[in-house]
Amino acid sequence: MAENLPSQTTLTTAPSIPTQPKRSKSSALLTPNLPKLPIPPLKESLTRYLRALEGLQTPEEHEKTKEVVKEFLQGGEGEKWQKKLEDYAKEKESYIEEFWYESYLSHSDSVVLSLNPFFVLSSDVTPRTDPQLSRAASLILSSLSFIHDLRNGYLQADSIRGTPLDMSQYGRLFATCRVPTDRGCRMEVHDDSKHIVVLRRGQFYWFDCLDSKNRPLFSDREILSNLEAIVKDADKTPVQAVAKNSVGILTTESRKIWSSLRADLVNSNKLNASCLSVVESALFVVCLDDAGPEDLAELCGNFLCGGYKLEGGIQTGTCTNRWYDKLQIIVCSNGEAGINFEHTGVDGHTVLRYAADVYTELVLLFAKTINPSTPSLFKSKLSPFSKSAKNPPAPEEGEEEFETSPKKLEWRLTPDLLAGIRYAETRISDLICQNDSQALEFKGYGGNFIKRHGFSPDAFVQMAFQAAYYGLYGRVESTYEPAMTKAFLHGRTEAIRTVQPEAVAFVKAFCSDNASVTEKIETLRKACKKHTQLTKECSQGLGQDRHLYAMYSLIRRDVQSYHASRARGSSATNGNSGSYNGNGNESLSPSNQSALLFSPQATTSVLSTDGSIHDGNGNGNGNGDISPPDAPTHGQVPGSTAPESERQKPRVPAIFKDPGYNLLGTSVLSTSNCGNPALRLFGFGPVTPEGYGIGYIIKDEGISVCMSSKHLQTRRLLHTLQAYLIEVQKMLIQLWKEANERPEAFIDHTGHMRDARTGKKMNNDGDGDGDAEGDERDDELLGGFGFFDVGVQSGLPQARRRRPTVGKQLAIAEY
């Protein structure tokens, strides 16, 4: 089915999306006129950089950083590297894209808990007798329909308020695999893939799903039949025997170990190589778990890193039923479903669009059982080659061959591979035990309440994280939130640094006994206003993180090129034909180098899940010169701006050695907002050992937060967050009441007591006629700004009832 094995494939770029969309121009898939991501003026980026550090450093530390920045800006180094970056960007579609892939693909640790995020879909709206397999079949069919529309140019183009967005990431969403090598990783995209892979109890099965025109070959009932056959066969394997033969667990290893084991797998025999090719070239992987999470914490952990369960000292958890190098649809035995995705080629916004469309289609399919005329979200039609097709294929369709019955992949594992699986299971079990994932589904209020009181919901929740963390730990830490830059060609994200001077002033005021409620809310408004401004600037590409990181990466390449030229000279002197690559191995040939999307290096910096920068061990940017002190590195680095004849050793500017650069890049609070009604929860692991990974969804009437850490007080921080949300709500209501206090009644010239607002005559007990519950309703019906008052409206002539009221009217509370 696949002509080339993954080990032989050198494809490193995504296939282009069809250039001739088969739809109206108003919904054209491509957006060819998108502008390039701008390189901000250096002075502006450095000003933002200093503001982002002001609240994180002591006054003495900040003064030192300001001196370093001043030297970089005025001493000529900054201007030189800004010019080199601008020249480099002239020939690139995005000045950050190549460095972005270098960072992700040079990550050396396990991708589990480090890179792969997850989504948990909202509850299934369709009543099902078999909640797992029936829902899985529907998810598969909807995903195939999405792929059909994507590949044939029918997919509605993304846009925000009329601004078109870059769609190139969708070409890396399906049939894509992260493949390890001994020098890092590469991305493979199999644009002719037609099959999916299903995992059950660590066993692999596959079957074709699309014809040559990408039309689904199955109805959901036929897919369900295939899944039932797979489960029946897989469940013959005892749960105690699953872990020892679970090949998928190898993808949880560190990338170098997985690379070595993968090479053994390919070279052991042709059968293993063919099985691996089938898995890596699949459209996506479906994981049918044989267990169902019992609480929110277990639910999050299951979709993030798999479940941990020991029976007689043997691992029987769902962690053995995964393949982390690809897009995974995970369905639990109780019908809970979600997605775990490899993050290198796609951002959360892209996967969210896919998840939302698929979930919407499931809702429409249920509606269709009630009203058969309900339309579908997708344009795909059942293939005429399907067994359930009403009409046979037309003569011009030709003949096609498919493997529509599920086939089991039979691995022939050597003793070394079996030992590798055993130790990989031990290591992922350790990682799971180190991880603490907790969730909060706060239902006290949501985006509607926040907006009524004049706040941006996202900024409001970001300040809630700051207040909760400060209230628990008594300090602020570097915080990251991604801002989407897909309005630009090949745009990804820019880093919003939440901890600004306004945010620091707010948390200190909020946690102070001396500040009044008015002062606390006023500082909150200022902090939220600043965060909203930052978000807009970063969405326009006007941040500091990506700019400085691209410059740093360019400098690093020149340093490595200098050492490469020394290495070649030393090799020529010693009569050696090879050069040192920093790992003790022979140097890469030019052809092998071009097959990689990153430049191999002895010390690597990694853009982790949140987009912040860390070294290969997840310890932040690192400080100091990134080149080895004496030993030369590998050969010439592609894209370097330094000529080989350059004799003067290039130096890393002091700004990148300053502790502030490492401080800002170490995101203790890594946060991301991925809101959509199709999702119940969203999360990812922490990007630093002393930090938290926080995924959140702001709904109209609630806020969902998933928080992960390594043995920190995750549950306690969530409780502190919940207490803050309740406390700030009370403050806002209190201030609203004070601003909208009911005026006192007055006595008119006839001696009657009248209501100050309505002028209506009041009873002797102080209540208006027929309005005994007015005060109570005023307490309950509180609008955010007081634009209207229900008590007033009920007293107006046009609001009088035309017939007697039967029964007691109930007040509807807004809070």
pLDDT tens track for 330-353: 999 999 999 999 999 999 999 999
Which of the residues are catalytic?
343
- Report how far Cα 809 is from the mean position of its chain's Cα atoms: 46
Three-state secondary structure call for residue 118: strand
Do 437 and 300 meet the contact criterion of CB atoms below 8 Å apart?
yes
Beta strand residue intervals within 464-615, DSSP E: 479-484, 493-497, 605-607, 613-615
In this predicted structure, the answer to whether residue 320 has a pLDDT above a threshold of 90 is yes
β-pairing, 203-208 vs 195-200, is antiparallel
Q: In 647-780, where does DSSP find H-type helix? A: 654-657, 659-665, 714-739, 774-780
pLDDT tens track for 770-799: 443 443 333 332 333 323 333 333 334 443
CA neighbor of 552 nearest in space, from 174, 81, 137: 81
pLDDT value at residue 812: 56
pLDDT value at residue 648: 67
Question: Which letter does DSSP use for residue 652 in this model?
Answer: -
pLDDT tens track for 434-457: 999 999 999 999 999 999 999 999
Burial of 232 (0-12, 13-18, 19+ CB in 10 A): exposed
Q: At what angle do helices 545-574 and 97-105 cross, to 10 degrees?
A: 70
pLDDT tens track for 647-688: 567 889 999 999 999 999 999 999 999 988 999 999 999 999
Q: Which CATH number describes the domain made up of 117-435?
A: 3.30.559.70
Q: How far apart, in Å, are the Cα atoms of 730 and each of 303, 434, 490, 734, 761?
A: 35, 37, 44, 6, 33
Neighbours of 783 (CB within 10 A): 14
When mean pLDDT is compared across 134-138, 351-355, 605-609, the lowest value belongs to: 605-609
- Report how far Cα 512 is from the mean position of its chain's Cα atoms: 35
pLDDT tens track for 555-564: 999 998 888 8
pLDDT tens track for 9-60: 333 333 333 333 333 333 334 555 899 999 999 999 999 999 999 999 999 9
Q: Out of 18-27, 293-302, 582-591, give the one with best mean pLDDT.
A: 293-302
Neighbours of 473 (CB within 10 A): 14
In this predicted structure, the answer to whether residue 80 has a pLDDT above a threshold of 50 is yes
Q: Where is pLDDT greater, at 625 or 544?
A: 544
β-pairing, 753-754 vs 493-497, is unpaired
pLDDT value at residue 675: 80
d(CA 23, CA 157): 11
Compute φ and ψ for 446, nearest 5 degrees.
-145, -145
pLDDT band at 493 (very low <50, low <70, confident <90, very high): very high
What is the pLDDT of the chain when averaged over all its residues?
84
In this predicted structure, the answer to whether residue 803 has a pLDDT above a threshold of 70 is no
pLDDT value at residue 552: 97
Do 467 and 724 meet the contact criterion of CB atoms below 8 Å apart?
yes
CA neighbor of 507 nearest in space, from 482, 475, 535: 475
Neighbours of 444 (CB within 10 A): 13
pLDDT band at 565 (very low <50, low <70, confident <90, very high): confident
d(CA 29, CA 16): 11
CA neighbor of 340 nearest in space, from 13, 694, 681: 681
In this predicted structure, the answer to whether residue 261 has a pLDDT above a threshold of 90 is yes
Q: How far apart, in Å, are the Cα atoms of 254 and each of 110, 239, 685, 761?
A: 4, 26, 16, 79
pLDDT band at 768 (very low <50, low <70, confident <90, very high): very low
d(CA 348, CA 343): 8
pLDDT band at 390 (very low <50, low <70, confident <90, very high): confident
Mean pLDDT of 459-472: 98
pLDDT value at residue 87: 96
Three-state secondary structure call for residue 441: strand
pLDDT band at 811 (very low <50, low <70, confident <90, very high): low
Burial of 666 (0-12, 13-18, 19+ CB in 10 A): buried
Q: Where is pLDDT greater, at 317 or 613?
A: 317
pLDDT value at residue 232: 96
* Secondary structure (DSSP) of 233-255: HHTTS-GGGTGGG-GGGGGGS-H
Mean pLDDT of 625-633: 34
pLDDT value at residue 32: 58
Query: Could you tell me the pTM of the whole model?
Result: 0.82
Neighbours of 424 (CB within 10 A): 25
In this predicted structure, the answer to whether residue 67 has a pLDDT above a threshold of 90 is yes
Question: Which letter does DSSP use for residue 788 in this model?
Answer: -
pLDDT value at residue 572: 55
In this predicted structure, the answer to whether residue 576 has a pLDDT above a threshold of 60 is no
Domain coordinates of the chain in residue numbers?
117-435, 746-799
